[in-house]
Amino acid sequence: MTVSLSPAALRAAAYATFGTRGPLQAALDRMGFVQADPIRAPARAQDLTLMQRVRGYRAGDLERLYPQLDAEEDVLPNYGFVPRRVQALLHPREPDPTRVERAHPELLNEVRGLLAGRTELHPRDVAAVLGQGRVVNAWGGQSSATTRALEALHYRGEARVLRRVGGIRVYGPAPHLQALRDSPLSEHERLCGAVGLLAELYGPLPEASLRYLVGLSHFGLPHLHRQLRAVFQEMVRGELAGAVIGGVRYVWAAASPVEPARMPRGVRIVGPFDPLVWDRRRFAHLHGWTYRFEAYTPLVRRTMGYYALPVFQAERAVGWANLKVQAGELQADFGWAPGVRLTPALRRGLESELARYRRFLGLHS
C-alpha cells in the first residue's frame, strides 16, 4: 500500500514513537525492544529512552524493577530488553561457536554444570571455581573467559539474566527458553513477527534501512538468511505500507498508519539509541544534517562531543546537547544545526526539558 506524505508529516509520524507517557511495563510492551548501552552520560541509553515514554521515570528504574517486570535481556539485533512474547521470536538459537568456545572448548560444559546446580550465578563465583583466563571482548577490552562463557550460554538461551548487581549481570536457569526449544514457533511466524516488530518500532524508515536491520536479525541461525530475505520481500509487497518522499522509499507497519496529524510541540533531548534517531539515514534525510555518535571516536576527531544527545523542537531536530553531572549539578553544552537560532521559545523549551532531566537524575537543585 502506497500513500502520499509530506516530509513534515513523516517527521511528525517518526516523533510519534514517544507515544503517551504511561507505566513502565506498558512502554516495554508497546515498544517490544529497548536498546541498552552501559555508558552513563548522564544516564544509560535504556534509561534515556524510557524517560521519554514512562510517567515519572527515574534513572535506574528499569534495573531496579526488572525482576518484577515481564522483561528479558536479549539481542534484537543489538543488546537490550524485550518482553517474553518478543523473546519467543528469537529462540531457539544455534549460533556459531564464539571466540571463548574456540579458545576453551571445555569451558561451556563446566559453566553449564555450575548453572544447573544453582538458582543464580554471579560471574565472580564462576571465576572463583573455574579460574579461567582473560579474552578480548567485543569492545577491544579484556573480559574473564568465564564471564564470556556465561554470555555465550545466555545468547544460546541456556541462561537468563535474573538481575544486576552494580551493573553486573547475575544469571540463572531459563526454563521458559527450554520450553521454546522443545516447542518453538514456526520459522515463518518468527520471521514475520521480527520484521513486523522492527518496522513498527523504527518506522517509518527507509526501506534500505529496514533491510539492513532485518539482515542483522538472523537469531543466530545463519541458515535462515535466505528465508528472512524472502519474508522481508513478501512483507514489503503486502503487509508494509510505503511512500516515496524526496526520492527515498519509506516503509512502516500497515497496522500503525502514518497519517497527517497535529505537529508536536515542545523540546526534547533524546538518547543516541532512541528509535527516533537510531537510523542515521532517516535522520539526515528528514532533518537536513548529519548526527554523529562519537563516544568511540578519538577525541581529536570529535565534532559534537563524547555523548551528544539530539535536541528536538517540535518534530524537527535542531541541534545536540552534551550533559554531565558535576558536584550535584547538571551541566549542559549545546551545538546547533545550520540555520537554527536560539529563540526565546527554544530557550524556554530547553529550560523545561533540563528541569525534567534533573528530576530524572534525582538532582533537586
pLDDT in tens, 256-265: 767 655 778 8
Q: Which domain holds residue 327?
A: 267-361
Place of cell 544453582: 118
Q: Which helix (H) or strand (E) holds 121?
A: none
pLDDT in tens, 164-188: 998 899 999 999 999 999 999 998 8
Give a yes or no: residue 340 inside a domain. yes
Q: pLDDT class for 198, splitting at 50, 70, 90?
A: very high
d(CA 202, CA 206): 10
pLDDT in tens, 283-296: 999 999 999 999 99
Q: Which helix (H) or strand (E) holds 113?
A: helix 107-116
Q: What is the pLDDT of residue 187?
A: 87
pLDDT in tens, 131-167: 655 554 443 443 588 888 999 999 999 999 999 998 8
Share of the chain above pLDDT 90, in %: 65
Give a yes or no: residue 94 inside a domain. no
d(CA 247, CA 265): 28
pLDDT in tens, 33-66: 999 999 999 999 999 999 999 999 999 999 999 9
Residue 4 has pLDDT above 70, yes or no: no
Grid cell digits, residue 125: 563465583
- Residues near 66 by Cβ (< 8 Å), separated by ≥ 6? 81, 163, 164
d(CA 33, CA 209): 17
- β-bridge partners, 268: 312
Give a yes or no: residue 197 inside a domain. no
- Final residue belonging to a domain, choices 164, 182, 200: 182
- Final residue belonging to a domain, choices 182, 217, 242: 182
Q: Which CATH number does the domain housing residue 125 bear?
A: 1.10.10.10
Q: What is the count of structural domains for the chain?
A: 2
Q: Which helix (H) or strand (E) holds 319?
A: strand 316-326
d(CA 87, CA 91): 7
Give a yes or no: residue 138 inside a domain. yes
d(CA 311, CA 256): 25
Give a yes or no: residue 310 inside a domain. yes
Question: What is the overall mean pLDDT for the chain?
Answer: 89
- Residues near 347 by Cβ (< 8 Å), separated by ≥ 6? none
Q: pLDDT class for 219, splitting at 50, 70, 90?
A: low
DSSP 49-103: HHHTTBTT--TTHHHHHGGGSS-EEEESSSEEEE-HHHHHHH-S--PPP-HHHHH
- Final residue belonging to a domain, choices 163, 182, 201: 182
Give a yes or no: residue 313 inside a domain. yes
**CA distances to 159, 184, 185, 186, 261 from 189, in Å:** 24, 10, 6, 5, 33
Residue 85 neighbours by CB distance under 10 Å:
12
Q: pLDDT class for 220, splitting at 50, 70, 90?
A: low
Residue pair 268/283 in contact by the 8 Å Cβ criterion: no
Give a yes or no: residue 57 inside a domain. no
Give a yes or no: residue 159 inside a domain. yes
